[in-house]
Amino acid sequence: MTDAVADRLIVGLDLAHVADAEKVVKELDGVAHFYKVGYRLAYNGGLEFARDLVRDGKSVFLDLKLLDIDNTVAEGVENIAKMGFRMLTLHAYPKAMRAAVAAAKGSDLTLLGVTVLTSMDAEDLKEAGYQDDPQTLVLRRARQALDAGMGGIVCAATEAAAVRQIVGADMAVVTPGIRPAGADQGDQKRVMTPRDALVAGASHLVVARPIIAAPDRRAAAQAILADMASA
């Protein structure tokens, strides 16, 4: 598998303990080198573990979905930008994005605006007080992320083609909710296969459960990479 394909697969370390995450990384050595650390692991020693991954030459996507007043977002991003991570998420609110972009200026950190969570559908948005359907809201936030100077956005793969038309070729389009053909969707509602997501315009795929919950994680990751390569 080429490094170019492997660099587009982000393995989600959605685990409770650093020891479990270390085991996954060890099992995937030589297959995957890009990992996502989110809430569950970050708040149980995961930030230091993420720094260790960077020191070991791995790429790290810190998925903390920041959102706060401008000054607080900026101060958080300033510190995170010094830690060597490759990607960081924040919710795609225009003021927060502008503050984050200014704070990350001059660093190698790619800021990603989270549009609409892949676990949400139209009814969920309505319950939360939004009038738009998921795709309409995703596209609005994609335009706002572009205008703010963000490095990319996070959206469902089902919206990647429409988003790519808005943001152009240079911004990252990172898609969670990736499921191999026939896999259980779990709590995801807007999903797509690895190959189809890349064809649709995704630059990076976040895959967690289909790999970390597999009986043979290495084989599962290799199968996903092979599907990606076919695109």
Instruction: Point out the residues that are catalytic.
Output: 63, 65, 68
Binding residues are: 14, 36, 63-72, 118, 179, 188, 208-209
3-state class of 16 per DSSP? coil
Secondary structure element (H or E) that encloses residue 62, with its range = strand 59-66
CA 88 to the chain's CA centroid: 8
CA dist 15 → 142, 156, 167, 204 (Å):
29, 22, 32, 21
Give CA–CA dist 219/135, Å, rounded: 34
H/E stretch holding 24: helix 18-27
Residue with tokens 């401008």: 70
